Amino acid sequence: MNDTNMLVNAQQGIRILFAEKERAANGGSFGPVIRSVYILECCTGGKGHIIINGQRFPVQEGCCYALLPGDAVTHYNDTEHPRQGFSCMLEGDYVGRVLKMLGIASEAPFFPKEQYPQFRDWMEQLLTQWNCTDSGAPLRQLSCLYGLLGELLSGHSRPLGNTVVDRAVGYMQANYPKVLTVDDIAAQVGLERTYFSEQFKKRTGLSPYHYLIRVRLQHALELLDTRRYSITEAAYMVGMDAHNFARLFKKEVGCTPQAYVRHVKSGHHPMSGRQKKCASE
């Protein structure tokens, strides 16, 4: 180790052990392996999945994640479009502290997808500097790493649990008309489905599925309030089929969609959710 590297390590308590641009073999797999270091990875193309301590996580272009010391990890790659991207290996207590601040855990290894462009760019710069051999390279490498960590931290001023829930709710609000599952939402925020559902319910009092139904019905109420759309049209526009819409509408609102429409047409103030019940049929 040269003098510059020693100075960097002593001052920062962090060490970059390895960086590479990788392209996995078609259908290949690796692991399980248990490491004593931190791994940051960024998928720039292809797809596959990783299994961390028995939990399966899909990986595709736009995914950025961390693997933690002590985790049992197995990598699997798609047979036609294998995963490719950037990877670096790190050690040092500072890395662990930052990842903990970001809420990264064995059951929640992914960074927000909106941070992918910055993550990819910093990793690419780090790889460029890793391949340099001059005496200033270790400092430039560390600069790239700290730039990456700084970008990741910039969007996490609030507790992670609230941030994840906010992101999930925002995703539901933006995509409720589409075919949307709890698996889709969990993958979007980078959490395993069961763990995501537990955390979501802990903070909202509702399961992700129940919350999505509430979002869809609230938008359906707004559509029906305009008196411009039929019940079938409103159901379709919020991503629900007519049968389930009628059943869930009555359960949540307290009356059938038909009764609600009659109430709106009568000129009374529109009702919303369970706060009021529809007039007797």
pLDDT at 162: 58
pLDDT at 161: 53
Q: Which two tokens mark 231?
A: 């019940």
Query: 221 to each of 153, 209, 234, 235, how far by Cα in Å?
Result: 39, 18, 8, 10
Distance in angstroms (rounded) separating the CA atoms of residues 230 and 217: 14
Q: Which among 182, 261, 185 is positioned nearest to 225, based on CA atoms?
A: 261
**Number of CB atoms found within 10 A of residue 266's CB:** 8
pLDDT tens digits in sequence order for the chain, 281 residues long: 444 443 344 345 788 999 999 887 776 788 889 999 999 999 999 988 899 998 888 888 999 999 999 999 999 888 888 889 999 999 988 888 888 888 888 888 888 888 889 999 999 999 999 999 999 999 999 999 999 988 888 765 444 455 678 888 888 988 899 999 999 898 888 777 888 888 888 888 899 999 999 999 999 998 998 889 999 999 999 999 988 999 999 998 889 999 998 887 776 544 444 444 443 34
Query: 17 to each of 13, 141, 238, how far by Cα in Å?
Result: 13, 11, 50
For residue 97, count CB atoms less than 10 angstroms from its CB and return exposed for 0-12, middle for 13-18, buried for 19 or more: exposed
According to DSSP, residue 270 is labeled P
- Rg over alpha carbons for the chain, rounded to the nearest Å, is 24
**In three state form, how does the secondary structure of 95-115 look?**
HHHHHHHCCCECCECECCHHH
81 Cβ contact partners less than 8 Å away, ≥ 6 residues apart = 45, 46, 47
Sign of CA dihedral 251, 255, 261, 265: negative
Q: Which among 122, 121, 115, 156 is positioned nearest to 142, based on CA atoms?
A: 122
**Structural domains in the chain plus CATH codes:** 3-155 (2.60.120.280), 158-281 (1.10.10.60)
pLDDT at 171: 87
Q: Where are the alpha helices (DSSP H) in 155-230?
A: 160-175, 182-189, 193-204, 208-225
Place of tokens 């139904």: 213
**Number of CB atoms found within 10 A of residue 194's CB:** 12
Place of tokens 């008196």: 227
- For residue 23, give the H/E element and its range: strand 15-23
Q: Which two tokens mark 250?
A: 């009555």
267 Cβ contact partners less than 8 Å away, ≥ 6 residues apart = none
The per-residue pLDDT for range 91-108, each reduced to its tens digit, is 988 888 888 888 888 888
pTM for the structure as a whole:
0.57
pLDDT at 156: 58
135 Cβ contact partners less than 8 Å away, ≥ 6 residues apart = 2, 4
